[in-house]
Structure 1
Amino acid sequence: VSPVPHRGAGRPQSRCQLSGTGMDAPTPLPTLIRKKRDGERLEDAEIRSFVRGVTEGTAQQGQIGAMLMAIRLRGMDAGETLALTQAMASSGRTLAWPPAWHGLVVDKHSTGGVGDKVSLALAPALAACGCKVRGSRGWDRDRGVPEPLCPAVPLPQVPMISGRGLGHTGGTLDKLEAIPGFRVSQSPEEMQHILARVGCCIVGQSAELVPADRVLYGLRDVTATVDSLPLITASILSKKAAERLSALVLDVKFGGAALYPTQESARELAQSLVRPRGPPGPLPAVPCHCPLSLPAAPGHSRCPCSCPCPLGSQPCPALGAGGVLLWQCGMAAGAEQGRERLARALDDGSALGTFEAMLEAQGVPPDTARGLCAGTPAQRRQLLGEAKVCEELPAPQE
């Protein structure tokens, strides 16, 4: 992994790298806030100046909040949104991968919803799809991972830079941090080591990776600007641009449990996400219904141990997005064949073995990772802890 300069760089060489251009003279932030507040268009250099102030800490939180609200109320056109995405993506390091991984670095991003646990299953399932494996009875008991039945071949690599909860939705990172020892902050070098060893990792923004998004993401949650279309678009695509992906699928949730209640509003977000076109080739954005219903085990600590896909059961909502990704990176002849391959990985235990290996690689003690993946529901709850006060609220109907 090597750093890519985010200041003084030239124009991007491909759509995969959304990089900002050179150093611009700083514009007083109150001037920019006033301009956007009054409905005027911000120039690319002005947007870069704002993001630089966010990243370097020269912008006050009140000023950042005021700009977020101005953007929420006045919006941004496609050019402004692209400039914001580029500036945020180049606020930190851009990942670079070994040549052997060319065409195999993939990811999926969801806009989130209550009970959304797809990433916990999809990342290890994709990483497990590179070669045939035996079922759970064929696992190496010391390592807890499946034994390969074929020679080593290039595997899909899944570097997920995920997010925390926003508004009423839960965050993938919050769920994973409920597992004792799990570390979401990883350097680019650590990410490459985990990918080489396991094939997937799930991390968060950091001082090195998309630091501007880390600041803006947290402030959006406390300034009632979570549902801003350009802010959502820039937040998601800046993280994906920093990953230097070969293929990406966007899972756009709608319904009572999602940020956007209707399919029409979700479609607008999907179109906004597709328009900047970070990675090369088609960029699918799939609207997915997220109805207002409680998950079987609500709460950050209960979600990881109730997620059905890593535990090998089906059907699984990850299959659609995963099938498209396997097709896009050449690991399947079509999306349906990709779905079938992913289903086998979930069913034969290889995805679960990879999930366990990922937990260990990101700091979870081996006994804890093994207990979480192989223990009974009661044992998993004991490992993750229980709230001091629990109240059962029965539903009047199914």
Structure 2
Amino acid sequence: MDMIDLINKKKYGQKLTNEEISFIIKGYTKGIIPDYQMSSFLMAVYFNGMDATESTSLAMAMRDSGEVLDLKDIKGTKVDKHSTGGVGDKVSLVLAPLVAYLGAKLAKMSGRGLGHTGGTIDKLESIPGFKVELPLNQFKDQVNQIGCAIVGQSGDIAPADKKIYALRDVTATVDSMPLIASSIMSKKLASGADAIVLDVKVGSGAFMKTKEDAMSLSRLMVDIGKQAGKQVTAILTSMEEPLGHKIGNALEVYESIETLEGHGPKDLTEVVSVITGHLLKAAGIVESFEAGYELSKTTLAEGKAVDKFYEFVGAQGGDVAFIKNKKNLLGNTKRHEIVATSSGYLEKVDALNFGIAAMKLGAGRMTKEDKIDLFVGLDLKKKIGDEVKIGEVICILHHQDKGLKDAIELIEKSYVIGSEKRELKLIEETIV
């Protein structure tokens, strides 16, 4: 095979075979195929696309470029979830202990935040002592014993994807559906789970801005998962406003504990219950999604899974006493209040601006090397549809002076208060 021939083939919109795609990925990973040829190939894919079979071959080839976790030692169906990234998305922190409490096995590898989206690993690191790296045997033993573990993504998982993503970033080929889907699924397929729920965010605070794009991405990822022999479900969830009330690492741990205690935000509780319902059905714990959903909602409302969260934190070295006194998670930050300049109903917010504002305060990274402040962030006192009165506090900024002026400007222009009470549809679609 010759790389120039394969570039030409895709340039003219022809379908590549599994062997040809494997040749490209192996050659590029080993340094045999240079960046300039891979860049040309990526641009050809950008303009001419790939079908589900090609996308699956690409995901599998990237998966096989590194370590593929063998989780056979964990008893039962292994479940996992993946979010495409949003603002205030702390679903994994609530879902892991909930799923484990209800009898499923969740073995999860998560990432760090970059840009306006937060990372589960950063949030967990706001708990003193919490270990985000575990030897594989200890990782599997923990899942067997208590039902869940969350660790940082290994550098050996899908190295081809990391190398290709870095190239996509500088060649304007990031926003290609087959490349996005294959990138996400290569890591999920390498992580060893049997059943996966994909939480595809759509709206101003998400990478997918329109429902049409989110649907296309979801269908392609579900197709890839099924062709790879996995149980995969995708749900489209709204990111027109941040999920929950709190944005920022320790603040989101605080809100996760509140949710597990039975008094969390309605939107966060709903998304967690929907995903858990699908995972419980996939694991054979319930006969239907509806039964799993109701069981999840009841368990959260009654605060039954919060002790499983403390058990999970303790198993990974975290200071349980520290987080049981939730006020510790608020840190010693300064507070700045944003107040409403008119009365009415909150009709719209710019979720992206909230994520950027939190990043300006120090809660997120612009580059992977940036150091973050684990305790700064935002606390939204009003959500879409809520009544607002002039002079009422609608948002509190937890800060240490860094980026405060920029954050205030972003937040103040992110609220639209009008005369209509608007209902936000949280779950847009389910794709199986």
State whether structure 2 residue 273 is matched by structure 1 residue 325.
Answer: no
Amino acid at match of 1:332: V
State whether structure 2 residue 239 is matched by structure 1 residue 290.
Answer: yes
SS class of match (1:250): strand
**Paired position in structure 1 for 2:370:** none
Amino acid at match of 1:288: T
State whether structure 2 residue 62 is matched by structure 1 residue 82.
Answer: no
SS class of match (1:116): coil
Amino acid at match of 1:297: K
Contact 1:128 1:345 in 2 (8 A): no
**Paired position in structure 2 for 1:370:** 321
Distance 1:279 1:36 in 2: 23
Aligned mate of 1:200, from 148, 154, 175: 148
Unmatched 5+ residue regions in structure 2?
Answer: 333-372, 377-398, 419-432
State whether structure 2 residue 61 is matched by structure 1 residue 110.
Answer: no
Question: How do 1:242-261 residues align onto structure 2 when only pairs under 5 Å count?
Answer: 242-261=190-209
Contact 2:100 2:106 in 1 (8 A): yes
Superposed displacement of residue 99, structure 1 = 6.2
Question: How do 1:207-286 residues align onto structure 2 when only pairs under 5 Å count?
Answer: 207-217=155-165, 219-221=167-169, 223-276=171-224, 277-278=226-227, 280=229, 283-286=232-235
Distance 2:67 2:143 in 1: 17
| Residues 1:61 and 1:350: Cα distance change in structure 2 (over 3 Å) | farther
Task: Quote the RMSD (CA, aligned, Å).
Answer: 3.3
| Residues 1:55 and 1:389: Cα distance change in structure 2 (over 3 Å) | farther
Distance 2:68 2:229 in 1: 16
SS class of match (2:295): helix
State whether structure 2 residue 416 is matched by structure 1 residue 388.
Answer: no
Superposed displacement of residue 323, structure 1 = 0.8
Distance 1:214 1:204 in 2: 15
Distance 2:249 2:166 in 1: 18
Superposed displacement of residue 88, structure 1 = 1.6
Distance 1:275 1:294 in 2: 27
Superposed displacement of residue 168, structure 1 = 4.1
**Paired position in structure 1 for 2:340:** none
Moved more, 59-68 or 109-118: 59-68
Moved more, 45-54 or 64-73: 64-73
Compute the TM-score of the two structures, normalised by the length of structure 2: 0.68
**Paired position in structure 2 for 1:128:** 101
Question: How do 1:26-45 residues align onto structure 2 when only pairs under 5 Å count?
Answer: 27-28=2-3, 32=6, 36-37=10-11, 39-45=13-19
Aligned residues: 342
SS class of match (2:141): helix
| Residues 1:250 and 1:344: Cα distance change in structure 2 (over 3 Å) | same
Moved more, 113-122 or 295-304: 295-304
State whether structure 2 residue 107 is matched by structure 1 residue 159.
Answer: yes
Contact 2:71 2:193 in 1 (8 A): no
**Paired position in structure 1 for 2:248:** 299
Amino acid at match of 2:232: L
Superposed displacement of residue 81, structure 1 = 0.4
Superposed displacement of residue 63, structure 1 = 5.7
| Residues 1:241 and 1:281: Cα distance change in structure 2 (over 3 Å) | closer
Distance 1:381 1:62 in 2: 48
| Residues 1:363 and 1:32: Cα distance change in structure 2 (over 3 Å) | farther
TM-superposition CA deviations, 1:245-284 (whole Å, max 9, x none):
3322222221111111222221111111121215657532
**Paired position in structure 1 for 2:70:** 96
Aligned mate of 2:92, from 119, 136, 140: 119
Amino acid at match of 1:89: R
Contact 2:254 2:329 in 1 (8 A): no
Distance 1:300 1:121 in 2: 14
TM-superposition CA deviations, 1:71-122 (whole Å, max 9, x none):
33332222220111111222223333346723x2111222222222212211
Contact 1:180 1:384 in 2 (8 A): no
Contact 2:66 2:159 in 1 (8 A): yes
Moved more, 222-231 or 325-334: 222-231
| Residues 1:44 and 1:302: Cα distance change in structure 2 (over 3 Å) | same
Superposed displacement of residue 301, structure 1 = 4.5
Superposed displacement of residue 124, structure 1 = 1.7
Distance 1:389 1:253 in 2: 31
Distance 1:168 1:341 in 2: 33
Compute the TM-score of the two structures, normalised by the length of structure 1: 0.73
Contact 1:205 1:213 in 2 (8 A): no
Unmatched 5+ residue regions in structure 1?
Answer: 1-24, 131-155
SS class of match (2:205): coil
SS class of match (2:193): coil
Superposed displacement of residue 127, structure 1 = 0.8
Amino acid at match of 1:42: L
SS class of match (2:67): coil
